[in-house]
Amino acid sequence: MNRQPAGGRRQRRSGPRSKKGALTCRGRHTRCDEARPICGNCRKARLQCQQPEFVSSKWSAFAPDSAQDPQSHARNEAKAQQSSRTASDQRPASPAAESVMTPEIAHLLRIYESDIGTWMDVFDSELTYQRRLLCMAPSSPLLLNAICALAAQQLSLIRSVHIWKPVAEHYYGLAVHLLARLLSAYPSKMELAIVGTILLSSYELLASTGVDYQRHFKGAHTIVEAIHAQNSTSPLIRASFWNYARHEVAQALNRNSPTLHDPRSWPKFNLVEDEAKEDSFCNEVLRLAAETVCIAFGETARRGSAKRRKRELLALQSELDTWLRLCPKEWRGIEYEDEGNARYWFPRPNFAAALVFYHFSMLLLCLEHEKLSSGAQTGDEKENKNGKDDQAQADAHSRQIIFIALSSLPDSAMVVVVQPLCYAVKYVSDSALRDQAILLLDDVERQTGFHTRRKLERQLAR
């Protein structure tokens, strides 16, 4: 590796944090002198100096009316696909991109393939973000730098921050610059733009869910709305949409708010078909979880009538019951006992993650039913009994979430179920089981770099 770690710990300078500093300096957590067009830090380090107004202006510059008619959208998508094919026919894989392959880059690509790539593809049996992206990366500087930034960021969290943090910041700065340039190429480059945005959002999610993460997450939302990604026939855009959808659910739970993108517009899958795919079951329960979050934290939660809310809750519960009934028995896990505790074996990790989302959705519904029962304030014994039943069911679903999470799941599933597990810790009544789940969340943070402790603290403080 051609980079050396810093010699000693630097003293952090005091003073208010600048909001006009270069994104490159912000990503490196260094004070920017705000010089234009290239700040002093980037000039000394010979980095691409990415100014904040350049990126933020691009999100709105390319985006067409999200409410455009379907024919217009179809023409744009056809144009994008045709342009992409023409470009690939006329221009072979970029020699410049291939020539920069180094031992460091090759190592980071392997780290991404074996670790983070599996997180991205947990609900994608075609493994689009592992197989297809790694094939595209050598000829796409944006994807190559974004993947390397993401892999190096994880290594900085689980191995050596002094060695890998500067590496991550270097690739991140390059990727942000390339993404900003790409956004002006709408609509021909939106496949790359949405993938690059998802990768950079994942980088910032590992770093911290701060301003930069919010910027790229909202940027992903803008692209999804603009190109109707949920209806796209492109395998890459479709895989990117469902990665974005998981970000949506996680962010909504962080904020206790509905999702930005209405899950009622997400694809609904026909699970009655004899050959319904694994992905269909997994993404369908994710959609139902998003709808549950919107009901729990949306406007109707504050203003809707009790009767209307009860109808919504019962309808969603019916859909979830149907999902579980249609789910093949072997996908639900095989229960066994380990030192007196229930554990489950799953043929594949995506089944475990999907079942956690089912129990999480049911947990939220039980909590909402309990609110309705307690809010009625009628003194009716039946209402009081219903409230206690809802509490017992919420506890049962919390226990199931924890039992599944404690069943030695791979990292690809554990990272996905962190947020539901935090909810289960809050509402489970068994203190010993709660302690086991908290220790498990600590282990996940140590092994993957995913910030579980912060998420748990935020949830318990509410």
- Domain limits of the chain? 50-251, 262-460
pLDDT for residue 454? 82
pLDDT tens digit string along 371-430? 887 765 445 555 555 667 889 999 999 999 999 999 999 999 999 999 999 999 999 999
Lowest mean pLDDT among 21-25, 227-231, 334-338: 21-25
Contact 269, 245 (CB under 8 A): no
pLDDT band of 104, cuts 50, 70, 90: very high
**Residue 277 pLDDT > 90:** no
Non-local CB neighbours of 262 within 8 Å, separated by 6+ positions: 294
Taking the C-alpha atoms of residue 230 and residue 237, their distance in angstroms, rounded to an integer, is 8
Q: Among residues 328, 323, 336, which one has the least CA distance to residue 403?
A: 336
Query: For the whole model, what pTM was predicted?
Result: 0.79
Q: Residue 143's Cα: distance from chain center in Å?
A: 18
Contact 335, 352 (CB under 8 A): no
Per-residue b or e along 111-123, where b marks 16 or more CB atoms closer than 10 Å to that residue's CB: bbbebbbbbbbbb
Q: What is the pLDDT of residues 367-384, one digit of tens each?
A: 998 888 776 544 555 555
Q: Is 12 exposed, middle or buried (0-12, 13-18, 19+ CB in 10 A)?
A: exposed
Stated as kind and residue range, the H or E segment containing 338 is strand 334-338
- Give the tens place of pLDDT for each residue, 117-144: 999 999 999 999 999 999 999 999 999 9
Integer CA distances (angstroms), 228 to 74, 246, 377, in order? 9, 17, 45
Per-residue model confidence as pLDDT tens digits over 21-42: 777 777 677 788 887 767 888 7
Token digits of residue 276: 């319904």
Return the amino acid letter for 121: D
